[in-house]
Structure 1
């Protein structure tokens, strides 16, 4: 196991030797991070995809990307294993463990082949999960299972401490268990996470969500989630971040500025997933891109739009193809758009944004 975790001194050192534009260097809970991070969701569970990711992730670590995002379920753990190899590779090239920030997630059940057969052989028969704990035929957040996933992630990544651990998409359970039981389960998960912080297995934790903070029906209540963290860890809890999809198509986050206000009030950083909507942004009519400020390419404009969002810490983009990485890495060297440019860009694509000084108070 590689000892240590991301630190303020280490991450600042990283950007001195791997400089990016100052506006693209952000702060997350006391450590410096790149505004654009590396995602690892998509792709087959095969050697070819593993090698593609390994190449681009190594290049990224040498090019100003120090924030890496994965999950135990991504490609049936292949993504974590590859990232573990990359971390070792970066360290062998002189980049210290405390210079990079590693995030992973638990909640979805990893599987390969037929889901039912895989889950029975790997989890039910081994008493890691009870059948009644499997929700939506894919999800489990019992403390016993999450404890197992954290141990599995640590082994796959080869690190002593995970810098940021997310509870993954808890909203998928609400339709089956109801709201009160959902938050009871979130609190139980947070109790485990606080224990793991004490054991130095994770440094902090958060919630990653696809629909929970975008959709009203079946959504998540951030104030109730904060209450879960306070119940689990008191006022000195380690709940630090939420991850939400946002891009030129999925604009719900900025249509409801309550999330921004709550995140600021609760001292939470906002991370973004799917800034290019898993590559689907390129299907937009070119006229939509022409409404945005000029950039190196349509994809660069789409990324700059996301990275300019107020209160954004980092956005994570999967880049397993080296040509996509070479194109996207350019955004780290260019200045971020101003708030006014970003707001006018939102309005140009049909979303009116309330100016900062006019935001309504929380109710």
Structure 2
């Protein structure tokens, strides 16, 4: 039995749901992934209600009903999200309801996670857990919250594995490295990313991660003149320098939703031929796989009702705006669109989309009104 997602394991998983549309699962070249993935980010993690709520039931409901991608990060809710996923997976495995090879589990590191309960003095936590053990110097910790030194990242991976109660993380993301720009030069950041990638290649060899990538908020979406712009071409070049053509930099994660469409509509990234493409097109050109984050823009896209034409074009007229938003998000060039849900009922409601086929590409393109949509 493998301790990570496999092609055979994920295929056996999808065969449990024969009533779902054949479009619901996608083969990304390595494994089969549900086109909706469960995310575990919560806004304002210092608020007490974010700890009273238990994600465990939502995770179990997702896995039992056809979602095999679970996404998290060590800093989400001060490590609580990872720990609840770990509890849920342990129960599923012990019950025989799922096996490790069927599930794709991703996490991230870069932000300092602190710990729950929130420390009385977070600066002392940084001193005790990062600076004193020598994981980083004070200068390598950006605004008391972000760090990507190899020693710190190794600690993060080890801690995430412990939290998740797993031996291997399928995809491990460097979390928002653009956070450091404005405090260090781009040239310096590239050197830091190179050291991070060197560590990740070692962690692949050690069996602690299977693949790695970069999860970014706006870094891949800005114009290249912006201070926090990240060049995908540069990131691939670093990976090839570190790991050769057989490197394990395989994924990126970036926002894509009906209100934030730049990943599909804005040509700001150079492809392998040096010409400018959208992020989705460039990623495809480099052989990378993209996971779409913030599919519902943290529910901010529902401040007013959608135009009825949206549902007509996406084939979701009989459902609601939330279903239309998720349908749109998973119709990009993504292996999966991530959504957050604490209530198991919300997970089940969103899975109504599993019965729907993909929207027609021409219909999706009409929602853009430009020639840039892929």
- What's the TM-score once normalised by structure 1's chain length? 0.91
1:268 aligns with 2:288: yes
Aligned to 1:10: 9
Shift of 1:49: 4.0
In 1, are the aligned partners of 2:149 and 2:196 still within 8 Å (CA)? yes
Aligned to 2:191: 184
Aligned to 1:360: none
Give secondary structure in 1 for the equivalent of 2:169. coil
- After TM superposition, list the pairs within 5 Å mapping 1:226-245 onto structure 2: 226-245=236-255
CA distance in 2, matches of 1:246, 1:48: 25
CA 1:162–1:29: 2 relative to 1, 3 Å: farther
Give secondary structure in 2 for the equivalent of 1:312. coil
CA distance in 2, matches of 1:138, 1:321: 30
CA distance in 1, matches of 2:145, 2:205: 29
CA distance in 1, matches of 2:302, 2:28: 30
1:338 aligns with 2:360: yes
What does the per-residue CA deviation read over 1:141-178, in whole Å, with 9 as the maximum and x for residues that have no partner? 00000000000011111111110000000011121111
After alignment, is 2-11 or 194-203 more displaced? 2-11
CA distance in 1, matches of 2:206, 2:145: 28
In 2, are the aligned partners of 1:37 and 1:316 still within 8 Å (CA)? yes
After alignment, is 122-131 or 195-204 more displaced? 122-131
Give secondary structure in 2 for the equivalent of 1:23. coil
CA distance in 1, matches of 2:367, 2:311: 6
CA distance in 1, matches of 2:102, 2:52: 24
What are the ranges of 5 or more consecutive residues in structure 1 without an aligned counterpart? 357-363
Aligned to 2:233: 223
In 1, are the aligned partners of 2:135 and 2:149 still within 8 Å (CA)? no
- Of 286, 298, 322, which aligns to 2:344? 322
- Of 110, 115, 121, which aligns to 2:113? 110
CA distance in 2, matches of 1:70, 1:267: 24
Shift of 1:330: 1.2
Would you tell me which structure has more helix in proportion to its own residues? Answer: 1
Shift of 1:260: 2.4
Shift of 1:324: 2.1
Aligned to 1:292: 311
In 2, are the aligned partners of 1:3 and 1:160 still within 8 Å (CA)? no
Shift of 1:261: 2.5
CA 1:48–1:280: 2 relative to 1, 3 Å: closer
Find runs of 4+ consecutive structure 1 residues off by over 3 angstroms: 43-51, 287-292, 353-356
- After TM superposition, list the pairs within 5 Å mapping 1:197-208 onto structure 2: 197-208=204-215
CA 1:62–1:230: 2 relative to 1, 3 Å: same
Aligned to 2:42: 42
CA distance in 2, matches of 1:226, 1:287: 38
Give secondary structure in 2 for the equivalent of 1:90. helix
Give secondary structure in 2 for the equivalent of 1:87. helix
CA distance in 1, matches of 2:202, 2:318: 46
CA 1:287–1:63: 2 relative to 1, 3 Å: closer
Aligned to 1:89: 91
CA 1:12–1:50: 2 relative to 1, 3 Å: farther
After alignment, is 337-346 or 41-50 more displaced? 41-50
Aligned to 1:193: 200
CA distance in 2, matches of 1:260, 1:229: 19
In 1, are the aligned partners of 2:39 and 2:339 still within 8 Å (CA)? yes
What does the per-residue CA deviation read over 1:232-281, in whole Å, with 9 as the maximum and x for residues that have no partner? 11110001011001112212212224122221121001111100011212
In 2, are the aligned partners of 1:52 and 1:322 still within 8 Å (CA)? no
Aligned to 2:273: none
Give secondary structure in 1 for the equivalent of 2:23. helix
Aligned to 1:361: none
CA distance in 2, matches of 1:289, 1:248: 14
- Of 99, 102, 117, which aligns to 1:99? 102
- What's the TM-score once normalised by structure 2's chain length? 0.89
Give secondary structure in 1 for the equivalent of 2:337. strand
State how many pairs are aligned: 349
What does the per-residue CA deviation read over 1:265-307, in whole Å, with 9 as the maximum and x for residues that have no partner? 2100111110001121221x21445533214111000110111
CA 1:213–1:253: 2 relative to 1, 3 Å: same
